[in-house]
Structure 1
Amino acid sequence: MTNLRRLARQTLTIARRDFIATVFTPVFLLFLFAPVIMGAFGAIGGMGAQSVASGSADKARIVAIVPDAVARSLSQVDAGLRSGFRVRDEAPATLTTLRPSGDPAAQARAAFATKEYDASAVLFGPLDRPHILYGPRGDRSARYLQLLAQSTLAAQATGGTLPRVEAVKIPMQRPRASAGGRNQSAFLAVFGIFFLTLFLAGQVVGTMAEERNNKVIEVLAAAVPLEAVFLGKLLGMFGVAVLFVAFWATVVGQVGALMPPAFAAGLGELAPAIGGPTFALLFCLYFSMAYLLLGSVFLGVGAQASTMREIQMLSLPITILQVGMFALSTAAASRPGSNLALFAEAFPLSSPFAMAGRAANRPELWPHLLALGWQLLWVAIFIIVGARLFRRGVLQSGSARPFWKRRRAIDTGVS
């Protein structure tokens, strides 16, 4: 048996061992359904925040202090203008009209002090020269009141209502992906890989701490090369990540079939430049590369820790590193072809994120073949460096010949 075949067999044995030890445990079910638990807490918090926000929105008002005749026209024009707002949150606050009494300016200032509603802007005076008072973050409401006064004057000039226009609306499909759709696809690709690696790759840090404490790692290191141990553990945890992603991709795919047509049409705008099927394949490949790259770094760093306290201390810099790669790749995806994008595509740890964004923005295929080879090279480098640091720093066995030059007198492959 050649050294390469022996190394491959030993690596796969370690990977199978770690995969089975992780998956066939009750704790794995908690890990598998962690998104449900996180989503439940997020939904509870979101409903609470929405309840508070809706309560505040219900009391928000824009106020117009005008005579009754003008108030009727103002309300009719306001109803017509609001029909153009698709989402309630985009529309201005509800209009309230008040009859002038005494000093309109004092009445307008008093509207901000009332307990019946929260006034964001108040209009008073003639519509051709109105005065508008507005509070903090009320400039948008003030502009709407100005537009409302202008439209009401136009309606009064044409008989009390604005002209009715019966438009012929014809839906169209874009012949090619829009720039906005490509940018959104690029961001979602970068965010998707970031979220998955943030959730999954950090687990690699603690894979060797327990085996260091119970001396199993020393038995493995005596039986197989450390490079095979590191690569096997990385592949084993990657198998766990693939199982996790496949499970939730199946669930989301079944739920996606129940999406309303409007939501599905919105997803149709997310058209990557390289094509949907190719983009999906590249997304899977770049997720794999991102996991292997970050996982190999985390495995090498985490192998130096011997206690859970040390592993917990490593969690913060690991998270900062992942967020930094996300920020760099997001900036690169928004400026394709720039020097920043080229740097993000070449830097090993950000390359999978940035190249996934490039797949959404540009149709060329050959740069992705180069990028995948470049990333695989750095996975090998990180594993070799991590194994040597572990050998020298933890096992304290000094330097050793490269694993591809070692000759073994007896086949001691782990089976």
Structure 2
Amino acid sequence: SVMEEKSNKILEVLLSSASATEILTGKVLGVAMLTLTVLAGWGLIGAAGLLNFAPAQAADVGEVLLHGGMLGYFAAFMVGGYLMYAVLFAAIGAFCETPRDAQTLMGPIMMVLVIPMLTMQMALMTPDAPVVRILSWIPFFTPFLMIARMPSDPPMIEVIGAMAGMFAFAVVMVLIAGRAFRAGALSDVKLSWKTFAGAVRRGE
């Protein structure tokens, strides 16, 4: 949506009545609310179906979700992970006018996202494996791997430490992405990681 607004010059009009930070915040929160609405709808449909047609399985699912505050941990890791990636994608969109432009910056990010997907099965089967424990401390991977490890009751120090690191990194990402979004919204420079990093350093 940011790419479309920039290519159609709508983003420039929005910036005349709101700051870049306000626009970025509104987009991140708007997409979050839309996603939560869709998830809530499908969740209610799924819950109703389970309760009516498979009450025994519904009880098992409920026990898993309520075990040890699982829903609370899921919400916390989801919020942290969403913040990290949403603001980054919005900042990248502010530099791009076509999907082809975005591929320049999105390629490395997609490669990073593949890593937790490849190790997710290992996290479910052997949640205390050294490689899983190490990767779960890396903020970009924490939302995926820590929630996969939660049913095995990992040490609380690891849960709190990884969560604190994730939220601290999310705050840094918000600051960095805000500077990049502000610079990219009105920029016509050739897109590259170099120009993106330069915009973050200058913040203008």
Q: 1:383 aligned to 2:174?
A: yes
Q: Find the aligned partners of 2:124 and 2:158 in 1 and give their Cα distance.
A: 15
**Gaps spanning 5+ residues in structure 2: where?**
189-198
Question: Which structure has the larger Rg?
Answer: 1
Aligned 8 A contact 2:127 2:149 in 1: yes
Deviations 1:141-168 (A, max 9, x none): xxxxxxxxxxxxxxxxxxxxxxxxxxxx
Change (3 A) 1:259 1:400: same
AA paired with 2:36?
V
Q: 1:236 is matched with which residue?
A: 30
**Secondary structure of the corresponding residue to residue 296 of structure 1:** helix
Change (3 A) 1:325 1:294: farther
**Secondary structure of the corresponding residue to residue 258 of structure 1:** helix
User: Shift of the alpha carbon at 1:353?
Assistant: 1.1
AA paired with 2:81?
A
Deviations 1:172-199 (A, max 9, x none): xxxxxxxxxxxxxxxxxxxxxxxxxxxx
Q: 1:213 is matched with which residue?
A: 7
Q: 1:374 is matched with which residue?
A: 165
User: Shift of the alpha carbon at 1:317?
Assistant: 5.8
Aligned 8 A contact 1:282 1:356 in 2: yes
**Gaps spanning 5+ residues in structure 1: where?**
1-206, 402-415
Deviations 1:259-304 (A, max 9, x none): 346x628x739965x9626112212322232222222222222322
Q: Find the aligned partners of 1:242 and 1:275 in 2 and give their Cα distance.
A: 19
Change (3 A) 1:248 1:269: closer
The aligned runs of 1:12-51 (5 Å cut-off) are none
* TM-score normalised by the chain length of structure 2: 0.73
Change (3 A) 1:330 1:270: farther
**Secondary structure of the corresponding residue to residue 95 of structure 2:** coil
Q: 1:346 aligned to 2:137?
A: yes
The aligned runs of 1:160-179 (5 Å cut-off) are none
Aligned 8 A contact 2:124 2:149 in 1: yes
AA paired with 1:350?
F
Aligned 8 A contact 1:332 1:344 in 2: no
Aligned 8 A contact 2:6 2:12 in 1: yes
Deviations 1:92-147 (A, max 9, x none): xxxxxxxxxxxxxxxxxxxxxxxxxxxxxxxxxxxxxxxxxxxxxxxxxxxxxxxx
User: Shift of the alpha carbon at 1:351?
Assistant: 0.3
Q: Find the aligned partners of 2:16 and 2:161 in 1 and give their Cα distance.
A: 37
Change (3 A) 1:334 1:302: farther
Q: Find the aligned partners of 2:10 and 2:101 in 1 and give their Cα distance.
A: 19
Change (3 A) 1:304 1:245: same
Q: 1:298 aligned to 2:92?
A: no
| Structure ranking higher in strand proportion | 1
RMSD: 3.4
AA paired with 1:290?
G
User: Shift of the alpha carbon at 1:223?
Assistant: 4.5
**Secondary structure of the corresponding residue to residue 303 of structure 1:** helix
Match of 2:128 among 337, 341, 357: 337
Q: Which has the higher contact order (CA 8 A, sep 6+)?
A: 2
Q: Find the aligned partners of 2:137 and 2:62 in 1 and give their Cα distance.
A: 26
Aligned 8 A contact 2:127 2:152 in 1: yes
User: Shift of the alpha carbon at 1:238?
Assistant: 0.8
The aligned runs of 1:183-262 (5 Å cut-off) are 207-260=1-54
Q: Find the aligned partners of 1:327 and 1:271 in 2 and give their Cα distance.
A: 27
Q: Find the aligned partners of 1:297 and 1:400 in 2 and give their Cα distance.
A: 15
Change (3 A) 1:347 1:363: closer
Query: Percent same amino acid among aligned pairs?
Result: 22
**Secondary structure of the corresponding residue to residue 53 of structure 2:** coil
Aligned 8 A contact 1:297 1:386 in 2: yes
User: Shift of the alpha carbon at 1:216?
Assistant: 2.9
Change (3 A) 1:244 1:313: farther
Q: 2:57 is matched with which residue?
A: 264
Query: Between Structure 1 and Structure 2, how many residues are aligned?
Result: 192
